[in-house]
Each structure stands twice: as structure tokens, then as C-alpha cells.
Amino acid sequence: MTNLEINNDLFAPPFCETVETFIAPIPGSRLETSNSFKIAGGWQYFNQLKVIQKYNDSYVEAVMSPSKLLSSSKTHSKSSLKRAEMNLDNILKKRLPYSKLDMSEPHIMGVINITRDSFYKNSQKNDYGSVKKTFEKMERFGASIIDLGGESTRPGSKKISASEEQDRVIQIIQSLKEHNYKSLISLDTRNFSTMKKGYRKGVDIINDITGFNDKKKIDFVSKNKTPIVVMHMQRDPENMQKNPKYNFAPIDIYKFFQKKINELIDMGVDLANIVIDPGIGFGKNKFHNLDILRNLSLFHSLGVPILIGLSRKSLIEELTIDNFKSRGINKSSVSPSKRLSGSIAFAMHAINNGVQIIRTHDVLETNQALICQRALI
């Protein structure tokens, strides 16, 4: 377990050189928070910050106002104040449009798996007719983006050839693009050759579970000004759930994205074309996933939109079984087809933390929950 102490005493002044400092807005409604600020220029507000510091292998967490953060940093040094201002500005600034989508409003990304072995069978579509029908239904129910994938990357899955993946998705993408749908098409692939072919057929977004781990990929999307989703994952799908380890998952993943965003920008990728995905369930155990979800707003200080995929994940099964051990609940009782309620609960948690894109198999149900929740703000 991570050595995280929660109190009001930090190791050192915020953003001084001797410790690492990270800040996360604490979300609340405009009515709940006086003198409030918008998170990322969006729909959620805050007036307090969670400040996390790392020193060696220990972490401490405290709460302070933005003005207190700045004054404490200024008292220490001008460089500390500059770092505090930069991080706070990243939290506050309105996100640039992403593939023409307004990031000051939440969006839904529907999921269509053109596979025979994805973990949720109801998402599997294996011919153009069924994909087209599902695509049109998702668009009608409010999906701004629809993510098409030709390779299962569920835990334990084995990699297929790029040619097999392309046989599944490329012609379908070409046929869909002929209809001028409003929903953007995202291609979920880790293969460089599939990215290139998908781009030539007109995909709007490339979603890479390997976090664009190859400079050829980065160079390609940079030259073509292609919007991307950068996901975090430990190892590969085949072995990613074999004893994953972190010092403190939210901070480790934050630092991965910090380094990756700098690399992308240095290679010419526009900041407006970058969305990050912490990768729930991809090389994380239950405790890692929960730590990430409890600290979701931390990622706003990276200055780019956030996507989260929680739909029907095994985390829902684990939590349900943990809480119903004495009532005869087993895995068959919470198979992927029976995890809708948990999926929506997590989606609303993400929305309440200002996450801009929710990736889901259940567009109608998620959008219905979102509409009802937004009506109460």
C-alpha cells in the first residue's frame, strides 16, 4: 500500500526544489463553492485544491485555496511561484476544441468492437451491416465520437497480426465515411500500419492503448495534424494484469503523461490534438484503479482534456463481490452484461470531476444519466 499521509502539513513549501508537488482541484457545484473557479473552463467548479507532495517514497496530502498555494510558493522563491502559477493555469484555462468538439462540455465516445473475443459480447459486431446499425443508433443517442477497434485488448488477450486487424476494420471505416455522419470516427489501434491505413480512409481520431510508444507513430500524427488519444498501460494486454506495481498510481501515471506530452509537443504535435486516458484496468489492480479514480482531477493540471473508459470493467465485478461476499454473489452474477449500474456510477463520478470524454458501450443509458445530472446543476 502507498504511504500517503493526509493532514495539513506539507513536507516543504509548494513547488520548492526539494520535493515534488502536484495539485488537483476539489470539485463542487457553483452553489457549493463561493469565490469559485471553473475547471478547464468547463461545467465543474472548485475553490480548494488538493496538494500532494512526494519526498523519497512518502506522500503527504493537504488542502488549501488557490490564493494560499500562490502565497506559500511566493514566500519560498520566484521559481516556486512560477511553477505554481503554471500548474494552476493549466487547471483553469479553457481547453482548445478537440477535432472541432467543444471541450467545455462533456462528450460521449461509443465503443464498437469489430472482434469475436472482446470481453463484453454485446459490443462485438462482425459485419458492416451490424456496425452501421449500431453506429447510427449511437449517433442518434448522443455519441460525439464512436471508437472502432479490430483487436481485443482485454486482459490476457493475445496480439493478432496487423493484416487481420485491417481486414476487420479498414473497409468498414471507408464505407461509414461515405455517409457523412456527424459522429467522429475514432480508430482504436496500436499498430502503426493500421493507423496509416485508417487515416487514409478518413478516421478523425487515433486512439492508441500503448500511448504512442513509437516515434514513427508520433511523427505520422504530427505531420498529418491528427487528433489522438494517449492511453497509459503497463506492459502488454497479454501480461499487464500480472502483479502490476506502482509507487502511487495517480502520481506515477501523471508523470508518464507529463513526459509524454512534452515529447509529443517537441515532435510537433499540436496541444489541441492531445487527449489523455489513464487506462483504468490496463496494468492496474483494484487498488490502483480506485486511487486513480479518487484523484481524477489531478490530471487537469496537465492542461489537456481527459478521457476515461470505465464501461463494464472488471473493477465493478471486484467491488460488487467484495461487498456481497456473504450473500451468495459470484462472478456469474456480475458478468460484463450485468455491470451497467456500476458503469454509470463511475461515469457520473468522472463527469463530476470535470472529465471531458466518457468512453462507453452504453451510449443511451450514459447520456440519459448525464442529461438528468446536468439538469440539477
**Catalytic residue ranges:** 313, 359
CA distances from 82 to 14, 86, 367 (A): 11, 6, 40
Q: How far apart are the first and last CA of the chain?
A: 37
Indicate the pairing of strand 45-55 with strand 37-38. Answer: antiparallel
User: For residues 254 and 260, what is the distance between their CA atoms, to the nearest angstrom?
Assistant: 10
User: For residues 282 and 233, what is the distance between their CA atoms, to the nearest angstrom?
Assistant: 5
CA distances from 70 to 84, 112, 163, 219, 290 (A): 6, 45, 54, 38, 30
- Residue that is written with C-alpha cell 504512442 in the block: 212
Contacts of 371 (CB under 8 A, 6+ apart): none
**Cβ–Cβ under 8 Å, residues 174 and 202:** yes
Eight-state DSSP code of residue 15:
T
